[in-house]
Every structure is written in C-alpha cells, then in structure tokens.
Amino acid sequence: QLLVGEPLIQETARVGQALLSAVLALVLYAIGCRLHSSAAGLWAAGLFALDLRFIVEAGSISTETLFSLMLMLTVLAYLQARAHAKPAWWMLAGVLAGLTALTRAVAQLLPFVLLAHVWLQRRPRVAGRHQLLLLAGFAVAVAPWVARNWVVFGSPSIGEGGAAHFWLGATGSGMWTGNEQMMVDVERLRIAPGSPQFAYLADAFHTILGNPARYIGLRLQRMLGAYAQPFGTVAVAGVFGDVSLKAAAGTWRTAVAMLAYPVFWLKLWIYLWHFGSVLLSAACVARYWRKPGVWLLPLLVIGYMSVLYAMLTIIPRYLFPVMPLYVVLAAAFLAAPRKKELAGTGS
C-alpha cells in the first residue's frame, strides 16, 4: 500500500500472483526433469500453462498460488538434495518446508513425509546423515513464528484452527455450515476460557468413537466430493456468468442451447484437465510400478495432503495445491513413448 497506493493494491497483487504462477511452471519443468526426463519436464510445463484452473487462480488474490509454489519448491529442493547429497540442499529443503508450513499450517508434517520417502527408497544411511539437517532447516524457518505464538497466545504452535476443523469434520454433515450455525454448535460445547482446542478434540473423538463407521464413510464421501468438483469452476462462472451447469441442464430445452452457453466450454476445459491429469497419474503409477523413483514422492505428498484434509474439512480449494503433482505424473506418462530409456529416475 505504501509503494503503489491503495487504488492499485489489487492490481499489483494480481501481477504478483501471475509472476508466481510463471515461476511455478518452471519449477514443474525442473521436477519433471528430475523425476523422469526433459520430455516430461516440457510436458509438465506445457500442461500447466494450458490448465485453466491455474490460469484463473493466477488472477485471484488468495494463498493457493503461493502455497502451491512453496510446496513444489520444497519437493524440488528435496530431489536436488537426494541427487547431489550436499548438506546445503538438505538444509534448504527443510527451510522451504518450514516456509510452506508458515503459508499453511497443514504442511507442518511435510518434513516427515520427505524422510519417509528416504526410508521407503531404502536409503537409511542417507536418512541418518541428513534427516537432522532437514529438520534443522525446518526448525530455523518456523521457530520465530512459534515463539511469537507462544508469547502472544500461550500456544507454541505454527497455526490455530486445526482442532476446530477436525471437530467440524466429525460432526453433523462434516463440512463448513456457516458462521451462524458454527456459533450455535460452539455454544453447545460450552467451551471454557483458555481450553478451546481440548474441547473441540474431546467432542470430536466422542462423536467418532460413538460411530466409527459413520465417520469413515462421511470423510470418504467428502474427499471424493472434493475431488469430483475441480477447483476453479465456480471462479470461471463468476467471471463469465454465475450459472451452475448442473442446474441449467434441467432448464435448457436443447443441447444446442447448452453448447452456446459460454461457460460450458470453459468448465468442460477445467473438467477435462482435472480428471485427465488424475487418470493419467494413475496410469503413470501402473506403468512405472517397478520404478518408484518416478511416482513415489509425488504420491506421498498427494496422499499426505489428501488424507489430512479428509480428516478435517475438505473442499476442492484445499486440494488445489497438490494438483501440480498430478500434472507432473501425467507428464511422465505422456513422455514415456518418446523415450527409449528413462533418464534421471530414482532407484
């Protein structure tokens, strides 16, 4: 605001978002090269550049683009650390993981996901030598913020809200119902001052243990629902006409009218890219099942984010930051016929 003035804040922020998105394309190219080949890197950057979800999000003022970039930079730094075995890369990977967690606290267990990958790749000696550097880098990045929260709020944590989201995911419909309804539910808990986190957790576990099958089924339903609705379709409708295709399909008399609706093609583009990348990722895992160096790391990060959010309150927006990894896996599958031998794959 001091540099550009209040009238230009939003425009400046959108320019910054676009620049971050451009950098993300380069990072995906590098990840594709490291996991598979230069052809996969080109496919990843190209698919990303044509993905309307990311094009729309680049113009939105939110944390999705930044979080996606930080997450992918962490993955790239970790791949570089494994390839070069230099302490500086391991420290950098930890620092980037810490900055990613500061962007969104859901990533605070990311260092352990990376270390799990080291052990699953049967390199315990590497883990023994470098896991402390990775964790040290993470601690350096998050320590000032954790200390600040401890002093100000009396809670040495990276972020608040996890317990509340876990509670929301276990009660009622298992999703956000609006501030008014949430306040009614919170009043029911009669939370004592200074102990909201414990009250949320206690009530959530009481609900879960009362009917575990219902909880598991509910969370699976919410996760599948989040994957079935690509992030960005609502934003596109907001720009080109805020009409639901599902609702409009029941009122349009002919298919011609539906095809003439401008948002139809944009939403179709998003759906094709979304489900296409997910399906091609599954095909990539099947094709390279005996070469986990191609797919294991992206799958671990995707699984971590998906399962953790499934335990909380999951919506398409929360899954969006891992979508670039689906793009990378899809790119590896598409690049395979162009290469006789894999280059740059892990063991």
What does each of the 347 residues of the chain score in pLDDT, given as a tens digit?
445 556 677 777 788 888 999 999 999 999 999 999 999 999 999 999 999 889 888 877 788 899 999 999 999 999 999 888 789 999 999 999 999 999 999 999 999 999 999 888 776 555 577 889 999 999 999 999 999 988 887 778 887 777 777 877 887 777 766 656 655 666 566 555 545 677 777 878 888 898 899 889 988 988 998 898 888 776 655 555 555 555 555 555 555 566 666 677 788 888 899 999 999 999 999 999 999 999 999 999 999 999 998 888 878 888 999 999 999 999 999 998 644 444 444 44
- Asked, for residue 344, whether it belongs to a domain, the answer is no
CA distances from 6 to 2, 20, 346 (A): 8, 22, 49
Q: Please list the alpha-helical segments (H only) found in the chain.
A: 9-35, 38-49, 52-58, 64-84, 87-103, 110-120, 124-153, 162-170, 179-189, 196-210, 212-228, 233-240, 245-249, 255-260, 262-287, 292-311, 316-319, 323-335
Are residues 58 and 15 in contact, defined by beta-carbon separation less than 8 angstroms? no
Q: Please give the pLDDT value at position 126.
A: 55
Residue 244 three-state SS: coil
- Asked, for residue 54, whether it belongs to a domain, the answer is yes
pTM: 0.86
Q: Please give the pLDDT value at position 241.
A: 54
Are residues 237 and 288 in contact, defined by beta-carbon separation less than 8 angstroms? no
For residue 238, give the amino acid letter.
G
- Asked, for residue 346, whether it belongs to a domain, the answer is no
pLDDT digits (tens, 9 = 90+) for 2-39: 455 566 777 777 888 889 999 999 999 999 999 999 99
Residue with tokens 């929360």: 318
- Asked, for residue 75, whether it belongs to a domain, the answer is yes
What DSSP string describes 32-79? HHHHT-HHHHHHHHHHHHT-HHHHHHHTS-SSHHHHHHHHHHHHHHHH
**Distance from C-alpha of 66 to C-alpha of 17, rounded to nearest angstrom:** 8
How many domains is the chain partitioned into structurally? Answer: 1
Q: Please give the pLDDT value at position 339.
A: 46
Burial 143-182 (b: 16+ CB within 10 A, else e): eebbeebeeeeeeebbbeebbbbbbbbbbeebbeeeeeee
- Asked, for residue 343, whether it belongs to a domain, the answer is no
- Asked, for residue 251, whether it belongs to a domain, the answer is yes
**Distance from C-alpha of 259 to C-alpha of 245, rounded to nearest angstrom:** 11
CA distances from 310 to 68, 106, 223, 278 (A): 18, 12, 6, 18
Q: Please give the pLDDT value at position 58.
A: 80
Our measurement of the distance from residue 71's CA atom to the centroid of its chain's CA atoms, rounded to an integer in Å, reads: 8
pLDDT digits (tens, 9 = 90+) for 183-213: 566 656 655 554 567 777 787 888 889 889 9
Domain of 253, in residue numbers:
6-338
- Asked, for residue 20, whether it belongs to a domain, the answer is yes
**Distance from C-alpha of 93 to C-alpha of 76, rounded to nearest angstrom:** 8
Q: Please give the pLDDT value at position 125.
A: 59
- Asked, for residue 103, whether it belongs to a domain, the answer is yes
